[in-house]
Amino acid sequence: MQTPPAIRFNSIEQVFPATTGAPTHALSGLDFTIGRHEFVSVLGPSGCGKSTLLRLLAGLMLPSAGKVEVFGNPVREPRDDVGIVFQRPTLLPWLSVIDNVTFPIRHKRGRVSKEDRRRGQDMLELVRLGDFADKRVDALSGGMQQRVGIARALLLDPDILLMDEPFSALDALSRDEMSLELLRIWRERPKTVLFITHSIPEALLLSDRIIVLSERPGTVRDEIVVPFARPRSLETMADPRFNEMANSIRRRLFTHPVNQTEGEPA
Ligand SMILES: Nc1ncnc2c1ncn2[C@@H]1O[C@H](COP(=O)(O)OP(=O)(O)OP(=O)(O)O)[C@@H](O)[C@H]1O
């Protein structure tokens, strides 16, 4: 039997009812799969349903129709093998860094064992915050707080990592630095990554494949295989093909296709 993909969206419809006025049709006929340890970014116009598809995959809500599957199993609730990093890391400012990293375990089991703390410390080493375990999180910069969020998402060693615009609140330099850090972490701990972003260069630098969604209701408009060799670095962005691809994606995103072939690269 064929191994199921790590992630499958199968004919997803998502309609949000309205208390007044028309309901919002957020996603329609959404179909795509992601293979194990693949890094896939989702790009699309504002409001096209990117965060919605991530919340469906995280088991935070159920689709109006269709199926979301993780390793062939329908997603009905949050799972330990799916870690999530949000745009803002939602840390508890009165707790130390290590207590924030191990918080999901405290929340779930009511206590944190020595072994859990050791694992938390390992994750802090991985994100290069090993010396900051006992600091309060509000003493850290935005980039460092996002590292804490990544360490927390990796604590239970999930197969799948969902990232919803994780670096968009950072300044440009920290953003580039965190992109490279994410590539390093992904190399050291291979994961299946679904990464939501508004940044075309970020998607090109990080991903194996980019899914471009249409305007709402979001559906797959394009799938782009990113050809750049790994490991990638800022040098990758100097490859002349990088700008060409970025421009081609930009055109696809911001033009309304007259027919299906418009915007195809030459
Ligand atoms: N819980 C909800 N109830 C009602 N409408 C919702 C709900 N969640 C999302 N929506 C609507 O569904 C559509 C898709 O929202 P979503 O946040 O998924 O888009 P997005 O592509 O992530 O947007 P952005 O790029 O601006 O972050 C939007 O019109 C939004 O207002």
* Complete DSSP assignment for 178-234: HHHHHHHHHHHS--EEEEE-S-HHHHHHH-SEEEEE-SSSB-EEEEEE----SS--G
Under the banding of pLDDT at 50, 70 and 90, the label for residue 108 is confident
147 within some domain: yes
Among 157, 188, 208, the domain-final residue is 157
Domain boundary (157, 180, 214) is at: 157
Q: Is the pLDDT of residue 235 over 60?
A: yes
C-alpha–C-alpha distance, residues 48 and 166, integer Å: 18
Structure tokens, 132: 């900051």
User: 3 and 119, same structural domain?
Assistant: no
Best mutation site among 24, 30, 62, 194 for ligand 1 pocket (most ligand atoms within 8 Å of CB): 24
CB 22 within 8 A of CB 135: no
Based on the domain organization, do 115 and 216 belong to the same domain? no
Mean pLDDT for 204-215 is: 97
Task: Assign 189 a pLDDT band (cuts: 50, 70, 90).
Answer: very high
Q: Is the minimum distance from the CB of 168 to ligand 1 under 6 angstroms?
A: no
- 49 is a domain residue: yes
pLDDT tens digits for range 132-152: 999 999 999 989 999 999 999
Q: What is the pLDDT of residues 237-251, one digit of tens each?
A: 999 999 999 999 998
* C-alpha to C-alpha distance for 120 and 60, rounded to whole angstroms: 24
Residue nearest atom 4 in ligand 1 by C-alpha distance: 16
- Banded model confidence at residue 257, pLDDT cuts 50, 70, 90: low
* Confidence band of 263 (pLDDT split at 50, 70, 90): very low
Q: Is residue 52 lining ligand 1, measured as CB closer than 6 Å?
A: yes
- 215 and 178 housed in the same domain: yes
Substitution candidate for ligand 1 out of 52, 55, 195, 214 with most atoms within 8 A of CB: 52
Residue 260 covered by a domain = no
Please tell me the residue having the least CA distance from ligand 1 atom 1.
Answer: 16
Give a yes or no: residue 2 inside a domain.
yes
- Looking at residue 265, its pLDDT comes to 40
Structural domain count, the chain: 2
Q: 256-266: string of b/e by CB count within 10 Å (b at 16+)?
A: eeeeeeebeee
Q: Ligand 1 center to residue 25 CA distance, Å?
A: 10
User: What is the pLDDT at residue 256?
Assistant: 62
- Tell which of 130, 157, 184 closes a domain: 157
For residue 117, the CA-to-ligand 1 centroid distance in Å is 36
Question: pLDDT tens digits for 68-96?
Answer: 999 999 999 999 899 999 988 889 999 99
Q: What's residue 72's pLDDT?
A: 96
Q: Could you tell me if residue 180 is left (phi over 0), alpha (psi between -120 and 50 degrees) or otherwise beta?
A: alpha
Q: 187 with 57, same domain?
A: yes
